[in-house]
Amino acid sequence: MAARFMVISFQRSGLNWLRYCTEYFTGVRTPGRPQIIAEGRVFFDRAHDVRRKPKRSDFTGLYDASGAEVYERVALLLRNPYACFTSHYLGRKGVNFKKGLEHFEAYANNINQFDALKATKGVFYFEDFVSNQEGTLRFLGFFEIDPGSRPYNFAQMIEASRGANVLN
């Protein structure tokens, strides 16, 4: 069964932290490089650029062949665009500045595509959730994930997420 939920997130917008938390509390994999769970169905789909099919996700588009929206809930992660651009493109070997700037159009396009959706939507800002328990819990709550279902130490989770070990 396809994921009913979607996360739109330009690169370097904090998605890996939220993926780690999602996997920790649900026991369900999220798309991308393995965090905690390596195999199985995914809890949500994800895209860094909603115009392109990603390599590590089943995402194929926001709409099906009939034009109906595919997702029940869609989260948009936002970070200061300058911070996203410099963190993702500048200082990386083999990244052409002009090409990086062209790819950065996805940042604004993601926002426009998100705004056009009729699904239940939530916007989450990097500064509000990265290393911030209240903001992280807001994101989890949007997808009806109950952190009370499992004991946790937020500070330890932050440290563990930086070197996430795959459990299964």
pLDDT in tens, 43-94: 999 998 998 877 767 788 899 999 999 999 999 999 988 887 777 766 666 7
Cα–Cα dist 60/99, whole Å: 23
Contact at 8 Å (CB) between 79 and 125?
yes
In the chain, where are the structural domains located? 5-162
Residues 6+ apart with CB under 8 A from 17: 129, 130, 131, 136, 158, 161
Residues forming a β-bridge with 74? 6, 121
**CATH tag, 5-162:** 3.40.50.300
> Which pTM was predicted?
0.87
Give the pLDDT confidence of 83-132 residue by residue, as tens digits. Answer: 877 777 666 667 777 777 777 888 999 999 999 999 999 999 999 998 89
Contact at 8 Å (CB) between 137 and 147?
yes
Give the pLDDT confidence of 134-160 residue by residue, as tens digits. Answer: 999 999 999 999 998 888 888 888 888
The rounded mean pLDDT for the chain is 87
3-state DSSP assignment of residue 144: coil
